[in-house]
Amino acid sequence: MTLSPERFHHVFANTLGAGESDRLHHRYVVPAPCRLLADLGCAGGPRSPRAVADAGKAGRGPLPLISGQEDRLVPDEATRAVYEQYGDTTAVTGLKQFADRAHSLVIDSGWRFVADYALGWLDEHGIRAHLPQD
């Protein structure tokens, strides 16, 4: 399966201008199998056992959930529902919602802002990133 530039813009980059969306499409879009969607139950069948997570596992590491509030692929409501599911554990879980951002929030021109937030959140919870030197 592959996405046309128009479909990519509609699903992934709906908050971006056409030029930036086209550049991201050219750089990142490659054909991919539909197995992931089928495993998640998006193809009309049952969810695969490989797609089930143990939300109650208290021994897991910190989990920052990040969403774009204009995301059409994984709507903000879905990310909030996951947060509520994981929020009932004693393990650290956080939710950050970026207004006016789509699914492309980690690859578009605002990616550094999202990355800085994620690195800061992890640092607050005792996880240090080891970044390569320029």
- Domain with residue 35: its CATH number is 3.40.50.1820
Determine the structural domain holding residue 49 and report its residue range: 5-124
Tell me, yes or no, whether 26 lies in a domain: yes
pLDDT of residue 2: 86
Residue 130 lies in a domain: no
What is the pLDDT at residue 14? Answer: 97
CB-based burial label for 86 (10 Å; 0-12, 13-18, 19+): buried
What local confidence, expressed as pLDDT, does residue 91 receive? 85
pLDDT along the chain (134 residues), means of 10: 92 97 96 78 76 79 93 93 86 94 97 96 87 67
Angle at alpha carbon of residue 120, lines to 104 and 14, rounded to 5°: 15
**Helix locations, 29-134, DSSP H:** 35-39, 76-86, 111-124
Domains of the chain: total: 1
In a domain, 105, yes or no: yes
129 falls within a domain: no
* 102: number of Cβ within 10 Å: 22
Residue 131 lies in a domain: no
Are 25 and 10 a contacting pair, CB within 8 Å? no
